[in-house]
Amino acid sequence: AATDAEPALTDGFQLVIDALKLNGIENLYVVPGIPISDLLRMAQGEGLRVISFRHEQNAGNAAAIAGFLTKKPGVCMTVSAPGFLNGLTALANATTNCFPMILISGSSEREIVDLQQGDYEEMDQLAIAKPLCKAAFRVLHAQDIGIAVARAIRAAVSGRPGGVYLDLPAKLFSQVMDAAEGARSLVKVVDAAPAQLPSPDSVARALEVLKGAKRPLIILGKGAAYAQADEAVRELVEKSGIPFLPMSMAKGLLPDTHPQSAGAARSMVLKDADVVVLVGARLNWLLSHGKGKTWGEPGSKTFIQIDIEPREMDSNVAIVAPLVGDIGSCVSALTAGMAKGWTPPPAEWTGAVSARKEANIAKMAPKLMSNASPMNFHGALGALRRVVQERPEALLVNEGANTLDLARGIIDMHQPRKRLDVGTWGVMGIGMGFAVAAAVESGKPVLAVEGDSAFGFSGMEVETICRYNLPVCIVVFNNNGIYKGTDVNPTGGSDPSPMVFVPDSRYDKMMEAFGGEGVNVTTPDELYRAVSAAMDSGRPTLINAVIDPNAGSESGNIGSLNPTSAVRKG
């Protein structure tokens, strides 16, 4: 016990841990090293779950998706300079996707960095992080740790969520202060993301516009999934009777099998709708910027948009009825307004959408039953579709080109926030980071469906998955290359084409190297059985699914984004 002569002391290490714990942070996604190794040892000792990765980008992606799943900032910790830069990609991606995340990096001594005298891993990290996140702070004094962590949390989750950078110079950790004073310096964030009610005028305007619609459509985006206002969203959709289209990560917010889902009639509803209600979805490239031939006749659309970020409105096309506020409050206000009198959309419209949807589903069905070997994408995805249908609580991580675009359409989702994918940037490399955090945060089985190229960006984390014994089943769609496995070197030289990998690789052996299960499959039946067994056992598993090298198409569904040469010879 401390006496008067010897007051109890605390230090920077302890205060960082205390501040995170006080604010309900339970998991840290990290790569250890100077100067944070002791911090991580102590954090584990104090009951935080510390998940240690092999590369910071994967740790950062894990933190980002933890934020999306929980509405609390996911926390990633890295070493200075290169570790920081590796984590920064994930921080920027989180910010782009509106996922709340905090990147905490150790840094080198200010005096030396600022004079550019060449310290160990010298870099002005704060300046570099700033343009890539919502907010960036540096803490120089132990007594400021509490307020800095509080600011970081509030900045990450309030308003439009996003990434925050916290710079902690090495010297901070060993700074000592009086323990009682230290305890008083901590701040527990109150009401970090308060409800933001839409103005009554904007609600009335939106209802007025919606009432005049003959062919209305609701588009649900990942902001709507993030908001965890699942019941309010369902009520709006069902009370209004309006067909809905989920964006990729909003699939399952209402089940894809819902009678009002227009997922299988996407092209038709985008082209033919007259009034479109955007709910936590941006009119960016993924929605063709709200214009062009995807959206039918020029001038044929009227947009209503619900978003927490006022500046999102009018970003691509005019928003006739902007509704600024949180999803739950905005959607509930619209539903309440409908109680005063609402006529469902004309049966001519809803009937046409259903007819198109059923025709498209019927057209797809036989392809999904293909038991061809080597497998094509449809046969393999048909098998995975069944696995997910039988386990609606499982989380699905998905990246690749063809593997992504086709899985998005084929694999129905049945519950909210179960589909995690490449998001706004369409970035490759999220796979294993997302899979680890999905398992850690949910405690549920995770299925990661990965193109062979996509998997390569984070593949070393299979060791992490084995080390923590996580219930993750990875399926690598192995078609020997990027898009296809058939490109050849045009010079006839011995180097392979930049678009292909070692043919007939056995990714399953990677998993076996670390004590997990590896399986090689060549038919949809084998794939179905292997994935089902893995999902039921909860054992870390990697299934190498042999796909026909001819089966893919260039860039999956977004080949039109590839510039082509006008002068290239034949």
Give the long-range contacts of residues 40-43, CB within 8 A, separation 24 or more: 40/77, 42/13, 42/14, 42/17, 43/17
Residue 346 — φ and ψ, nearest 5°?
-55, 140
- Residue 10 or 479: which CB sits closer to Mg ion? 479
Q: Which residue has the tokens 């910790």?
A: 77
Q: Which one of ligand ADP, Mg ion, none is in contact with 424 (Cβ closer than 5 to 8 A by kind)?
A: ligand ADP
Which residue type, as a one-letter code, is found at position 93?
N
Binding-residue total with Mg ion (CB under 5 A): 3
- Residue 222 or 234: which CB sits closer to ligand ADP? 222
Residue 170 — φ and ψ, nearest 5°?
-50, -40
- Using alpha carbons, list the distances in angstroms from residue 522 to 327, 343, 381, 530: 44, 52, 13, 11
Q: Which one of Mg ion, ligand ADP, none is in contact with 464 (Cβ closer than 5 to 8 A by kind)?
A: none
Does 459 sit near Mg ion (CB under 5 A)? no
Task: Give least dist CB 105 to ligand ADP, A.
Answer: 26
β-pairing, 9-11 vs 176-178, is antiparallel
Distance between start and end Cα atoms, the chain: 83
Task: Determine if the peptide bond prior to 540 is cis (ω within 30°).
Answer: no
Question: Binder to ligand ADP among 137, 226, 349, 457 (CB under 6 A)?
Answer: 226
What is d(CA 530, CA 54) in angstroms, rounded to the nearest whole number? 27
Does 398 sit near ligand ADP (CB under 6 A)? no
Task: Give least dist CB 257 to ligand ADP, A.
Answer: 20
Task: Give least dist CB 459 to ligand ADP, A.
Answer: 26
- Residue pair 400/477 in contact (Cβ under 8 Å)? The answer is yes
Does 249 sit near ligand ADP (CB under 6 A)? yes
Q: Which one of Mg ion, ligand ADP, none is in contact with 452 (Cβ closer than 5 to 8 A by kind)?
A: Mg ion
- Residue 315 or 520: which CB sits closer to ligand ADP? 315
Q: Which one of ligand ADP, Mg ion, none is in contact with 451 (Cβ closer than 5 to 8 A by kind)?
A: Mg ion
- Residue 274 or 309: which CB sits closer to ligand ADP? 309
Question: Binder to ligand ADP among 62, 218, 262, 327 (CB under 6 A)?
Answer: 327
Question: Binder to Mg ion among 107, 479, 523, 544 (CB under 5 A)?
Answer: 479
Q: Which one of ligand ADP, Mg ion, none is in contact with 249 (Cβ closer than 5 to 8 A by kind)?
A: ligand ADP
- Six-digit token pair at 71? 């509405």
Does 376 sit near Mg ion (CB under 5 A)? no
User: CB-based contacts of 401: which residues, under 8 Å, 6+ apart?
Assistant: 451, 453, 454, 482, 483, 552, 555, 556, 558
Residue 209 — φ and ψ, nearest 5°?
-65, -45
- Residue pair 34/402 in contact (Cβ under 8 Å)? The answer is no
What is d(CA 305, CA 206) in angstroms, rounded to the nearest whole number? 9
Does 227 sit near ligand ADP (CB under 6 A)? yes
Which stretch, 166-174, 280-288, 466-474, 525-533, contacts ligand ADP (CB under 6 A)? 280-288
Which residue type, as a one-letter code, is found at position 376?
N
Does 319 sit near ligand ADP (CB under 6 A)? no
Question: Binder to ligand ADP among 56, 272, 312, 399 (CB under 6 A)?
Answer: 312
Question: Binder to ligand ADP among 11, 272, 326, 517 (CB under 6 A)?
Answer: 326
What is d(CA 301, CA 290) in angstroms, rounded to the nearest whole number? 9
Which stretch, 242-250, 380-388, 443-451, 465-473, contacts ligand ADP (CB under 6 A)? 242-250
Does 452 sit near Mg ion (CB under 5 A)? yes
Instruction: Calculate the dihedral angle through the C-alpha atoms of 432, 437, 442, 447, rounding to the nearest 10 degrees.
Output: 0
- Residue 286 or 352: which CB sits closer to ligand ADP? 286
Which stretch, 161-169, 226-234, 365-373, 450-458, contacts Mg ion (CB under 5 A)? 450-458
Which stretch, 201-209, 369-377, 447-455, 506-514, contacts Mg ion (CB under 5 A)? 447-455
- Residue 98 or 265: which CB sits closer to ligand ADP? 98
228-257: which residues touch Mg ion (CB under 5 A)? none
Question: Binder to ligand ADP among 149, 210, 270, 281 (CB under 6 A)?
Answer: 281
Residue nearest to ligand ADP (CB): 223
Q: Where are the alpha helices (DSSP H) in 391-460?
A: 402-410, 431-442, 452-456
b/e per residue, 402-412, with b = 16+ CB within 10 A? bbbbbbbbbbb
137-196: which residues touch ligand ADP (CB under 6 A)? 160-161
What is d(CA 328, CA 71) in angstroms, rounded to the nearest whole number? 14
User: CB-based contacts of 159: which residues, under 8 Å, 6+ apart?
Assistant: 193, 196, 308, 309
Q: Which one of Mg ion, ligand ADP, none is in contact with 153 (Cβ closer than 5 to 8 A by kind)?
A: none
Task: Give least dist CB 539 to Mg ion, A.
Answer: 25
Question: Binder to ligand ADP among 146, 216, 221, 516 (CB under 6 A)?
Answer: 221
Q: Applying CB under 5 A, which residues contact Mg ion?
A: 451-452, 479
